[in-house]
Amino acid sequence: MWRNRNVWIILFGEFIAGLGLWTGIIGNLEFMQDKIPSDFVKSLILSSGLLAGIIVGPLAGKIIDQTKKKTVMVYSGLGRMFSVVFMFIAIYTGSVWWMVLFMISMQISAAFYFPALQSAIPLIVKEKDLLQLNGVHMNVATLSRVIGTALAGAMLVVMSLFMLYISSFIAYFILFIFTLFLQIEETNKQKNISENQSKGDFKEVLPIIKGLPIIMMTLIMTLVPLLFIGGFNLMVINISEIHHDPSVKGLIYAAEGIAFMIGAFFIKQISHKWSPYGIMFFFSVIIGLAQLSLYFVDFKLLTIASFAVFGFAVGCFFPTAATIFQTKMPKKYHGRFFSFRNMLDRIIFQIVLLGTGFLLDLIGLKMMVIVFGIISLSLTTIFYIRYKRYSREQNQKKDVTAV
């Protein structure tokens, strides 16, 4: 796998794009902090971009399945660079509306790019290497997040906001150049099958998901880590206030990020001994226990350890789930499926974010993590039972067929 130039192009491209993305996010927060006093208005602006991504999701999936993945990624890269121009105008004019256009156009580009990337990964490596590549790819994304946020914070001390976005634009330009060198083989046979047997409608993917219980179950199981991730920032802020220590935020982010990277490397070592579904269920339980352990939030070291355990578990969970999606879902539906998953993640993220804020005000952090932990463990138990029943039914069908 490591001799494959496409692998290196995608990994380097992801790292550089991550630096640009997180540099831009820090810049967005800085701009809003200066121009917008209301936290609610800030949340509306952040939600506008996510909503735009959800709206174009069906169109993105349809286009990804009907055209070459590389072509979609190239045009998405151009869209990202063009989006930064809106931010330049926003800084020059001091207008928030130009920033809203920046957020919307950036999220639309992302709605095309990331499903196309997920659809392209199974085309550039063998199936046996998918889990490893998914893990490394997520590690690179995490590393770029850690370095990008730290770098952007340091850059704002010594340079203007305009120069920060210049750096972000340069990063997206480098990603665009990297994408041009991708060589993805999409055979005419695959294209003909897609064109002859499918109208390319986004709604065609829904019966496929329903007809594949493993895909449906894995999709719902991703709700477990999203219950934690959706309200992650709000919980970190709340914990910082509980301890009256702003530095605890950095410790939590660092512990979670490092543990995530360790988990993504560790998963390759156990993938030969455990089934993907066993891995997913086991680490879902660990995530639920990590949520419950935050009941003891008054103990700083235990709190940091809880986030580290969560990071490790998610580092094992997400590469496994991504591999299941890439191998079990027919390739001709990959574009629409990953667009659907992207939309679903965004919707759940918004619901969890709002729910976390509501519960923090209503019952406080300690009771909220108990509620989330019980939900996570209950979901895991229900779907583990359903999975065992499904496995027995499949084995019985095989026995009947053999007879």
Residue at 202 is within a domain: no
223 plus 372 within the same structural domain: yes
Residue 231: which domain range? Answer: 213-328+363-396
**Residue 118 domain-assigned (yes or no):** yes
The full DSSP string for 195-221 is HHH----GGGHHHHHHH-HHHHHHHHH
35/100 same-domain check:
yes
Nearest to 99 by CA among 153, 36, 145: 36
Q: What is the pTM of this model?
A: 0.70
Predicted local distance difference test score (pLDDT) of residue 50:
73
The verdict on residue 356 lying in a domain is no
| 338 within a domain of the structure (yes/no) | no
pLDDT of residue 312: 92
- What pLDDT, on the 0 to 100 scale, is given for residue 336? 79
Report the number of distinct structural domains present in the chain.
2
CATH classification of the domain holding 75: 1.20.1250.20
- Give the tokens for residue 143: 């590393």
- Per-residue pLDDT, 291: 92
Residue 290 forms part of a structural domain:
yes
- Residues 388, 264, single domain; the answer is yes
Let me know whether 156 and 251 are in one domain: no
Q: Tell whether 96 and 7 lie within a shared domain.
A: yes
Tell me, yes or no, whether 163 and 239 share the same domain: no
pLDDT of residue 190: 46
176 with 262, same domain? no
One domain, residues 296 and 244: yes
**What pLDDT is stored for residue 202 in this prediction?**
62
State pLDDT tens for residues 45-54: 767 777 787 7
Low-confidence stretches of the chain (pLDDT beneath 70): 1, 29, 33, 38-44, 46, 149-150, 153, 186-202, 246-247, 250, 394-403
Are both 41 and 131 inside the same structural domain? yes
* 358 part of a folded domain: no
Confidence (pLDDT) at 274? 83
Choose one of 133, 163, 195: the last residue of a domain: 195
In a domain, 42, yes or no: yes
Sort 77 into a burial class: Cβ within 10 Å, 0-12 / 13-18 / 19+: buried
Residues 292 and 147 in one domain: no
In a domain, 369, yes or no: yes
Q: 222 and 371 share a domain?
A: yes
Domain with 230 in it: what CATH number? 1.20.1250
What the block records as the tokens of 398 is: 């095989």
Torsion sign across C-alpha atoms 248, 261, 214, 377: negative
Extract long-range pairs of 293-298: CB within 8 Å, 24+ residues apart: 294/235, 294/365, 294/366, 294/369, 295/366, 295/369, 295/370, 297/239, 297/242, 297/365, 297/366, 297/369, 298/242
Distances from the Cα of 198 to the Cαs of 43, 191, 212, 260, in angstroms?
A: 39, 10, 18, 39
pLDDT at 402: 59
